[in-house]
Amino acid sequence: MSFQVASEVGRLKTVIVHRPGKEFTRLSPSNKEDLLFDDVLWLNRARQEHDRFVGAMAANGVRVLHFEQLLGEALENPEGRDFILEHSFAPAFVDPEILVPFRDYASELSGADLAELLIAGVTESEYEELVGQKLPERVASRGGMVLPCLPNHLFARDASAWAYGGVSVNLMRMPARRRESINLHTLYTYHPEFAGQDFKRWDTEAFLAQPDNPEFSDLEHSIEGGDICIIGNGAVMVGVSERTGLDGVRNLARSLFNQGAAKTVIALKLPISRAFMHLDTVMTMADEGTFLAYQGLGKVPSITMRPGANGQLEETTDDGPGMYDVIAKALGLDAIKVLVNEVDPLTAERDQWNDACNLLALAPGKVLAYERNEQANAYLESQGIEVIAVPGAELGRGRGGPRCMSCPVDREAL
């Protein structure tokens, strides 16, 4: 397998996805907000939709890897297993009183069963049956889960993101998603198809400072893949958002520059809100030099980072008006094309909420999009973009579309 993501739109070759599973049987009206979902899901329908999504990629020659299977395989490696047992069964996530028997139980599982348990979590009632011990009264009275489920693995884009010849395992902003990074680190470090292969890690120090650190208070260091857009020509555009802090962008820029993997990183300052949680909820690429943007985004301020003297970052700021020129310059183009569907603002807002801007390019000018955004897709077609529409009535309830649900590992250069 080769590992190289040098653009957003070159022909997509290999991708990691996560098919929704048992974790969604735990998503409920009382916990959905903490788990970052706007509604509960009908699991079987969500799985059918996801199969269509995967089928559309496979039909276009994409090799689709399944996260849960990869994690299970990585956990067959004793060191991978030890790492995950130590950091996931840690006081930050599991009540200290049950930590030891719970970890002992988990350590006996097969790789596949342990992977499922880590993603699906364990409810209080399951615990007693599985571990064969009564839950202490204090723990049992919480009415929740003794190991929380991780439904946001569905959005495979966020916890790790590939850029040029390497991957960043990300420091997630929201507590509900922090354990995802532990799983991704385990996969990339211990899975036979990834371990020791020819790729870099952009995160290492940041990640290792985080795995199960209960304080994790320095949110300016967080970064999530939905904010990271590999625009090409050695440039990366990163949203500073509800999820990504400016220091997180700077850390990524330093890692990329130190290895000569990139020469420009543009930090775009987004409004801080759930609807705009990541850059890819409001702006993605559809073709070479061509972007699709939500009309409500407008032009936002940016900081352009380039390698400076003595390993420092050289930063140039723009207050907003120059946004498109800043991007064009990083791409070495005279201008970029930004497609904005000028419809009634309420329509635009509804479409954006349903991920109309969250495109996954399979090749230049050929994108996957949710079929529900009929009018937005017709607009794209009118602009010469080929749209392959996939269902997302259930999948979209967590606010993520085709781009969010995919983690490209290998993409042809332009």
Ligand X SMILES: NC(=[NH2+])NCCC[C@H](N)C(=O)O
Judged by the rule CB under 6 A, the positions of this chain that interact with ligand X are: 36-37, 152, 155, 157-158, 177, 226, 277-278, 280-281, 398-400, 404
287: enclosing H helix or E strand: strand 283-287
Q: Which is nearer to ligand X, 24 or 155 (CB)?
A: 155
Closest by alpha carbon to 1, among 196, 231, 236? 196
Are the C-beta atoms of 288 and 267 separated by less than 8 Å? no
Tokens at residue 287, please? 């073709």
Minimum CB separation of residue 404 from ligand X in Å reads 3
* 81 vs 397, beta carbon nearer ligand X: 397
Nearer to ligand X, 19 or 177 (CB): 177
- Is 404 in the active site? yes
* Smallest gap from residue 225 Cβ to ligand X (A): 6
Catalytic residue (choose from 149, 229, 357, 404): 404
Which of 269, 239, 266 lies closest to 253, judged by CA? Answer: 266
Min dist CB 111 to ligand X, Å, is 26
Closest approach of ligand X to the CB of residue 244, in Å: 11
CB of 172 to ligand X, least distance (A): 8
State in angstroms the smallest separation of the CB of 36 from ligand X.
3
> Do the beta carbons of residue 86 and residue 186 sit within 8 Å?
no
**164: alpha, beta or left? (left if phi > 0; alpha if psi -120 to 50):** left
Q: How far is C-alpha 380 from the chain's CA centre?
A: 24
> Are 269 and 369 in contact, with CB atoms under 8 Å apart?
no
Which has the closest alpha carbon to 67: 210, 180, 228? 180
Query: In terms of CB distance, is 135 or 236 closer to ligand X?
Result: 236
Residue with Cβ nearer ligand X (123 or 152): 152
**DSSP code, position 319:** -
Sequence-ordered strand ranges (E) for 78-192? 122-123, 145-147, 160-163, 166-169
Which residues, 6 or more positions from 60, have their beta carbon under 8 angstroms from its beta carbon?
12, 362, 363, 366, 388
Give the nearer residue to ligand X in terms of CB position, either 318 or 355. 355
- The residues annotated as belonging to the active site are 404
